[in-house]
Amino acid sequence: MKFGVIVFPGSNCDHDAFYAVTSNLGQQAEFVWHDSPSLGNLDAVILPGGFSYGDYLRCGAIAKFSPVMQAVKRFAADGGLVLGICNGFQILVESGLLPGALVRNGNLKFVCREIGLRVETTNSPFTGALQRGQVLHVPIAHGEGCYVADERTLDELEREDRVAFRYVDNPNGSLRDIAGVLNRERNVLGLMPHPERASDPLMGSAEGLGVFQSMLQAAAAVTR
Amino acid sequence: MSTAAITPEVIEQHQLTPGEYQKIVDILGREPSYTELGIFSVMWSEHCSYKSSRLHLKKLPTRGKLVVQGPGENAGIIDIGGGYVIAFKIESHNHPSFIEPFQGAATGVGGILRDIFTMGARPIAVLDSLRFGRLDSRENGARNRRIVSGVVSGIAHYGNCFGVPTVGGETIFEPCYDGNPLVNVFALGICKKEDVFYAKAAGVGNPVIYVGARTGRDGIHGASMASAEFTEESKQKRPNVQVGDPFMEKLLLEACIEAMKTGAIVGIQDMGAAGLTCSTCEMGSRGEVGIEIELDRVPQRETGMTPYEIMLSESQERMLLVADKGREEEVFRVFRKWGLEAVEIGIVTNDGKLRVRQHGKIVAEIPNRELADEAPLYDRPHTSPPEVHAAPQFPQISVQDALPKLLAAPDICSKRWIWEQYDYQVRTNTLAGPERADAAILRIKETGSSVAMALDGNGRYCYLSPRDGAKLAVAECCRNLSVVGAQPVAATNCLNFGNPERPEIMAQLVEAIEGISEACTFFNTPITGGNVSLYNETLGEGIYPTPVLGIVGLMKTEAPVTMPFKNAGRSVVLLGGIGNCGEGRFGCTQFAKEIAHSLWGLPPELDMEHEKRLQAAIREIIAEGLAESAHDLSDGGLAVTLAECSFGQAGIGAQVDLDSDLRPEILCFHEGPSRVLLSTQNPKRVDEIAARHGIPAPVIGITIEKGIEIRQRSNTLGAWDIAALKKIFDNSLEQQLSTEVTHV
């Protein structure tokens, strides 16, 4: 399987995502520069964490205008797997690929800590290898990770089983404890926690690797 | 401004003495222009020239078989094997952080990061040593709390966005830092041995290229500001503090590292203190060449800037580099890719002079070497450090009641409120981040080995004896590394002192440097660079002498041995033994500070020979996998260490019985060095190893499912519920920070 890791100016978890899917998952990956008009031959795309364009104006608000985002949208429309982590989630939301918005944490402070992340659905290519109700220990590291949306959208997300992950102990004020959401077609996932930082036992937890293993499993099913 | 006449008042405003001015006239063979005076004043400031400390800094050991680059460059470099080197240094940003806490601390991080990547190394870790005034001060508490939150969010803002993990450090609160907080930032980076770059200009005719942010009027005279005491007027110096843009710095990092790979770069230096002035003359001086620049070509974000302002600006996120003639385009292409400005502003010449033109006319012409390396050198008079004459005090308090008080003390309590605001994991190398083990540990993916880092300093110890306090700091730093199984290999230091023109302060500086020198020689940790910050005084009140050591150690990559007890039923071993401590050595402890509210006597006694053997023993114990947990005894002594080891997720505590004649509070809270608390399944093997090193390793108790109990010869001194103690430890800092001033 071949992953593409998008690099925006200011991305800083790009190497971490690359390392997780290559060294920890054992798959191929390449970096894709933000001004690339096309993606080439990829099985999945990761929008990594960081501070794209300094996160000036609003997190992800400038990145959505990057040429590569047009390619990512086409890729998603064709059914390609797109995973947005942290800043990547913010960019997906700003780009309209996912509903809702991410605003400043309830306590207005950046927070880096390991949290419990509950798997809410296994009906997605990102969670297929996990168990419903399973709690993953993965870190968060963000200042603007409070997920908000109007009631109707939240109801719809729940009705359509599109809340992929919830926080066990809500660290940022996210509505209904939401930590990660899927698009309607279920091939785009955005989440604030960092599964790529919990993909190696040496880092204290390898429970995040399940997200990438799910993607691998899903990609293998398609090829078959 | 640029045409102002040079009067004695103008010279004094530039903090130059009449003697220094005469030296300038001698070097130039004429009176300087106003611009030239400004250039000399920053290069010859204490901050840039080390004129008071240079003579004594020569005493520090700087060589070792792993040292690739010692002091004199932007950072020190050591060989870690496998074809890789690490670059590291610590630097202060004390004065700006008092005037404007957020930007002062942020640009402190930015400055040290540039020092690292200027050498070609990608920064992979930051640690901070922070010192503030007391949060509960009636008079200054509100201001101190504001400084703490400003500094912490400034560090978080810069480091998090740049993408470097902030993995450890220390935070101390003392009244002497009320008007003069200390913000010392350590950074470490990695690169291939053959990819190291130096800040040296070479090749007559080669282009001098300016890259990064545009030059504005911010930070003018920052270096001189850092070289004077604070007065009431200092608050008006806010415009002298620079403003940081971590996003720009991140781009600059990636672009510089990519540009270095082209092979077209000859030398590179960041523009930090004294900006364009320092980078041009230092690169020229190191390469024994001249540099000529045209200011009209310098990218500027304001109009009408004078040569004086452009040369002295300390705008952030700028670099100066010299490229191979004919290969400029390769360099420009990389910077264009990253959306950064790169402009040829001058050339390397053969006359050894810094020549600055504006609109084609020469506005400054100064020999590089004299400017950069022949600053005045002072052998300032030093008498002896101030003596402390307070008598020992032992308030009536039980060990039972004293421990919770100490766990709530700001120096001891958890600093989670601070470090959770830092991304300590980005780049996925952090094996041990804040408060996990005695040192921060990062794996080096490229070599398969790991590097451990610790920062230590103790102003109270150094105030009582600068020489012994400095030695204790080196010893503790090395011990922290050894406790995680790392071999200490090299050091950097940040010397924070008061006004060196006062003989007793100068004596503190001299003694501390000699102490560091002795200990670093003994522990075989050469100093590869660092920083001196003097004039840390406000309204005539000096800080405690505060040398801060940053030491790095090497180890293999494996799951680290952390502080907390993991299982019940394990033997608790006090490696190094209970130790001894007379009343006169107890006055510097946290007990004396928080409970007796006093400071007396001398710092704990250090036997360096014994300490070295203890460190060898603990490294061997760790290497054999015998320790399930390990934590050295420092602030708060044995009782505090026992509590900290009981705060793990497993909730395992300990019951210990101490065979000693010491009075209970001394027994439980003395801070004698050379001691490590560990838990093990195999005390016999631990004892064998310890005995071979001549170190006592008494089993003092056993780990238990619930609670902590300390006995002295079967008499219970205290018994505590872990959850209750942990709650105090975890919440104390946040409570102190959120306390509104209710005193009237």
pLDDT at B232: 61
CA distance B258 to chain A (A): 14
Please tell me the pTM assigned to this model: 0.96
pLDDT at B328 exceeding the cut of 80: yes
CA distance B162 to chain A (A): 7
- B615 confidence band (pLDDT: 50, 70, 90): very high
pLDDT at B227: 65
Out of B248, B250, B443, the one facing A202 most closely (by C-beta) is B443
pLDDT at B230: 64
Helices B246-261 + B101-118 axis angle, to 10: 0
- What average pLDDT score do residues A9-33 get? 97
- B492 confidence band (pLDDT: 50, 70, 90): very high
Catalytic status, residue A112: no
Q: Which of B250, B425, B441, B561 to mutate to test the interface with A (most CBs of A within 10 A)?
A: B425
CB contact under 8 A, B160 and A9: no
Residue B436 burial by Cβ neighbours in a 10 Å radius (0-12, 13-18, 19+): buried
pLDDT at B1: 40
Q: Which of B113, B153, B190, B426 to mutate to test the interface with A (most CBs of A within 10 A)?
A: B426
Which residues are within 8 A (CB) of A23 and not within 5 positions of it... i.e. 6 or more apart?
A200
The closest of B356, B372, B373, B349 to B202, measured between CA atoms, is B349
| A10 contacts in chain B (CB < 8 Å) | 161, 247, 250-251
Model pLDDT for residues A59-71, shown as the tens digit of each residue: 999 999 999 999 9
CA distance B409 to chain A (A): 24
Question: For chain B, what is the mean pLDDT?
Answer: 94
Identify residues of B whose CB sits under 8 angstroms from chain A CBs.
153, 156, 160-163, 245-248, 250-251, 338-339, 419-428, 430-431, 443, 445, 557-559
Q: Which residue has the higher pLDDT, A88 or B221?
A: A88
pLDDT at B744: 36
Model pLDDT for residues B499-519, shown as the tens digit of each residue: 999 999 999 999 999 999 999
CA distance A182 to chain B (A): 25
pLDDT at B238: 56
Question: For chain A, what is the mean pLDDT?
Answer: 97
Out of A10, A13, A202, the one facing B247 most closely (by C-beta) is A10
| B155 contacts in chain A (CB < 8 Å) | none
Out of A19, A56, A141, the one facing B423 most closely (by C-beta) is A141
Out of B245, B248, B424, the one facing A112 most closely (by C-beta) is B424
CB contact under 8 A, A54 and B423: no
Across B497-570, where does the E strand assignment appear? 527-533, 537-538, 541-542, 546-556
- What average pLDDT score do residues B301-309 get? 93
Q: A10 CB near a chain B CB, below 8 Å?
A: yes
Cα(B246)–Cα(B423) distance, integer angstroms: 14
Model pLDDT for residues B350-366, shown as the tens digit of each residue: 999 999 999 999 999 99
Q: For B270, how many CA atoms within 13 A lie in the half-sphere containing its CB?
A: 24
| A88 contacts in chain B (CB < 8 Å) | none
Which chain B residue has its CA at the smallest distance from A199's CA?
Answer: B428
Q: Which of A52, A202, A212 to mutate to test the interface with B (most CBs of B within 10 A)?
A: A202
Cα(A204)–Cα(A184) distance, integer angstroms: 34
Q: To the nearest whole percent, how much of chain B has pLDDT over 90?
A: 91
Q: To the nearest whole percent, how much of chain B has pLDDT over 70?
A: 96
Model pLDDT for residues B87-122, shown as the tens digit of each residue: 999 999 999 999 999 999 999 999 999 999 999 999
Which chain A residue has its CA at the smallest distance from B430's CA?
Answer: A203
Q: B699-704 and B571-575: which strand pairing?
A: antiparallel
- What average pLDDT score do residues B216-243 get? 69
The closest of B422, B453, B426 to B440, measured between CA atoms, is B453
Q: Which of A22, A112, A203 to mutate to test the interface with B (most CBs of B within 10 A)?
A: A112
The closest of B389, B409, B397 to B637, measured between CA atoms, is B409
Q: A101 CB near a chain B CB, below 8 Å?
A: no
| A13 contacts in chain B (CB < 8 Å) | 163, 426
- What average pLDDT score do residues B244-272 get? 95
Out of B153, B162, B427, the one facing A16 most closely (by C-beta) is B427
CA distances from A42 to A125, B132, B189 (A): 16, 52, 33
Q: Specify whether the CB–CB gap between A80 and A38 falls below 8 A.
A: no
* Catalytic hit among A13, A86, A146, A207: A86
| DSSP-assigned states of every residue in B332-389 | HHHHHHTT--EEEEEEEESS-EEEEEETTEEEEEEEHHHHHH-----------PPP--
pLDDT at B742: 47
| B428 contacts in chain A (CB < 8 Å) | 16, 19-20, 196-197, 199-200, 203
| A141 contacts in chain B (CB < 8 Å) | 160, 423, 425-426
CB contact under 8 A, A51 and B247: yes
Out of B339, B421, B425, the one facing A139 most closely (by C-beta) is B425
CB contact under 8 A, B421 and A53: no
Model pLDDT for residues B158-199, shown as the tens digit of each residue: 999 999 999 999 999 999 999 899 999 999 999 999 999 999
| A105 contacts in chain B (CB < 8 Å) | none
Cα(A104)–Cα(B61) distance, integer angstroms: 49
CA distance A220 to chain B (A): 27
pLDDT at B233: 61
Backbone angles phi, psi at B156, to 5 degrees: -60, -45
Out of A111, A197, A202, the one facing B420 most closely (by C-beta) is A111
Q: Each residue of B229-261: b (16+ CB within 10 Å) or e?
A: bbeeebeebeebbbbbbbbbbbbbbbbbbebbe
pLDDT at A222: 79
Q: What is the 3-state secondary structure (H, E, C) of B1-63?
A: CCCCCCCHHHHHHCCCCHHHHHHHHHHHCCCCCHHHHHHHHHHCCHHHHCCCCHHHHCCCCCC
pLDDT at B217: 87
Which chain B residue has its CA at the smallest distance from A54's CA?
Answer: B247
CB contact under 8 A, A9 and B338: yes
CB contact under 8 A, B428 and A197: yes
CA distance B671 to chain A (A): 31
The closest of B630, B741, B652, B662 to B702, measured between CA atoms, is B652
Out of B248, B424, B426, the one facing A12 most closely (by C-beta) is B426
Q: A188-191 and A81-85: which strand pairing?
A: parallel
Looking at the DSSP assignment, which residues form a beta bridge with residue B455? B550
Out of A19, A141, A143, the one facing B425 most closely (by C-beta) is A141
Angle made by CA atoms B314, B316, B321, in degrees to the nearest 5: 90
| B246 contacts in chain A (CB < 8 Å) | 51, 54
CB contact under 8 A, A20 and B428: yes
Say how far residue B207 (Cα) sits from the centre of its chain: 35
Q: Which residue has the higher pLDDT, B2 or B732?
A: B732
Q: How many CB atoms lie within 10 A of CB B297?
A: 14
CB contact under 8 A, A113 and B420: yes
CB contact under 8 A, A197 and B445: no
Which chain B residue has its CA at the smallest distance from A206's CA?
Answer: B428
CB contact under 8 A, B559 and A20: no
| A196 contacts in chain B (CB < 8 Å) | 428
Cα(A60)–Cα(A5) distance, integer angstroms: 16
Model pLDDT for residues A39-82, shown as the tens digit of each residue: 989 999 999 999 999 999 899 999 999 999 999 999 999 999 99
Q: What is the ipTM of this complex?
A: 0.97
Q: B290-294 and B353-358: which strand pairing?
A: parallel
- What average pLDDT score do residues B614-618 get? 98
- List the alpha helices (DSSP H) in chain A: 14-19, 67-77, 87-94, 151-159, 209-223
- What average pLDDT score do residues B263-280 get? 92
Which chain B residue has its CA at the smallest distance from A198's CA?
Answer: B428
The mean-pLDDT minimum among B219-233, B384-398, B406-420 falls in: B219-233
- B738 confidence band (pLDDT: 50, 70, 90): confident
pLDDT at B743: 43
**Residue A176 per-residue DSSP state:** G
| A55 contacts in chain B (CB < 8 Å) | 161, 247
CA distance B427 to chain A (A): 5
CB contact under 8 A, B246 and A197: no
Model pLDDT for residues B57-77, shown as the tens digit of each residue: 999 999 999 999 999 899 999
pLDDT at B235: 55
pLDDT at B433 exceeding the cut of 90: yes
